[in-house]
Amino acid sequence: MSTATETHDRTDGPPVTGPPRPAAATPARVLRWWPAAALLALAVAPFSALPLPGLLDGPVGSPGSLQLLATCLLFGALATGYDLLLGRTGLLSFGHALYFAAGSYATNMFLLEAGLPFALAAVLGLCFGTALALVLGSVSLRVTGIGFSMVTLAFAQAGSILVSRNPGGLTGGEEGRAAPAGLLPSGLVGIDNTANLYWIALAYLVLTLGVVHWAVRSPTGRVWEGIKENERRVEVLGLKPYGFKLTAFVLAGALAAVGGLVHLLLTGGSTPQTTTSDFTLSLLVMVVLGGSGTRWGPMVGGILYTWADHRLGDLAGSGAVADLPAVLRVPLSQPLFLLGVLFVAVVHLLPGGLTRLPARLGAGRRATANTSVEGRSS
């Protein structure tokens, strides 16, 4: 007698097991496809007229909403690249903004001063930002720990001062420098082309996620993990951490330089605010908010922080806040105060970041279930 999965020998043989039945699709397997679904939804967002009151000022596909969404995607990608240092290698850099600004300012100067075509200026701007990360990283990584952080902060401060001094009229000083619309691709200029800029920001996010995922899963990425856990142990194994840390530093700097180029297109110019250490501190908050060292955490933190920064700024200047008593109006009229309260609440209530919340909830449910089972058995 036989079944679909088992046949018996009629004489003396043991049962012969056939091919197993295909397992039914489980919710966990279905959830594995959520990144593809999210990417598809983001890709078609410019064609949507769906209103999201409270989240966006207009329909999803309106120019204003697309501009905000593109900025969120940009900083989600930038935070993901920064996490290569903080969350993957354990390097706390306070100068990451310098390479973001280098990509923006260098591209702008190649356009304005040299009159180069946009594509060539963009490539040279990326090369400049990467080379700057290589040079400054090779110096900064000669020290470790807090010394490394202080050296990167010193470089960032020097870069910020250089930009504000406007040497030779190249940087525009405190006002920044607008990109020449006539030298930019026509499809990337004007409010009618906001969707194209949005897709560029989305492509930058996908590129960064892909590069970071590939790098972390590579043999070099496993060494980064070892350096973060115990650098001395990596040295005992015969590896030289300096080269691996420099690789992470340069890769993160190159991704930041690409982000600076995208920011140049989104804002139509280069601004000195992108050179300050406060800019890097914002990246640090984004990474911690979403979950340092996780695959999606920095991206989620960057998107939520940027959205909250814009929306809370609108709330702070609204008439509803202006009509409140002074004891409430003064703190609520400060977006940084609101962001600070939000950040402190997340750090205390959700240690490990927002993306670790599902795992914590699952662990809590399992612990409750085990407790109930033990109670019934006793």
User: Residue 178 is part of a domain; what is its CATH number?
Assistant: 1.10.3470
Residue 191 falls within a domain, yes or no? yes
Q: What is the mean pLDDT of residues 284-293?
A: 91
Asked if residue 35 belongs to a domain, the reply is no
66's CB contacts (< 8 A; 6+ apart) are 45, 46, 60, 194, 195, 197, 198
Please tell me the predicted confidence (pLDDT) of residue 332.
67
Q: Residue 348: what pLDDT? A: 79
- Residues 178-236 have pLDDT tens digits of 988 888 888 998 898 999 999 999 999 999 999 999 999 999 999 999 999 999 999 99
Q: Is residue 27 part of a domain?
A: no
In a domain, 373, yes or no: no
What is the Rg, in whole angstroms, of the alpha carbon atoms belonging to the chain? 25
Task: Determine, yes or no, domain membership for 371.
Answer: no
Question: Is residue 62, in this structure, part of any structural domain at all?
Answer: yes
46 located within any domain: no
Mean pLDDT of 313-342: 71
pLDDT at residue 261 tops 90: yes
Q: Cβ distance 176 to 274 under 8 Å?
A: no
Query: Is position 236 within any domain?
Result: yes
Q: What is the pLDDT of residue 14?
A: 52
Q: How many domains does the chain have?
A: 1
From CA 173, how far away is CA 176, in angstroms rounded? Answer: 6
Region 299-312: what's the mean pLDDT? 89
For the range 188-191, what are the long-range contacts, defined as Cβ-Cβ under 8 Å and sequence gap of 24 or more?
188/265, 191/63
Average pLDDT over every residue of 23-52:
78
- Helix count and strand count (H, E) for the chain: 16, 4
Write out the residue range of the structural domain in which residue 69 sits.
58-346
Q: What string of DSSP letters covers 262-300? A: HHHHHHTEE-GGGGSHHHHHHHHHHHHHH-TTSSSHHHH
Helices 277-290/146-165 angle, 10° precision: 130
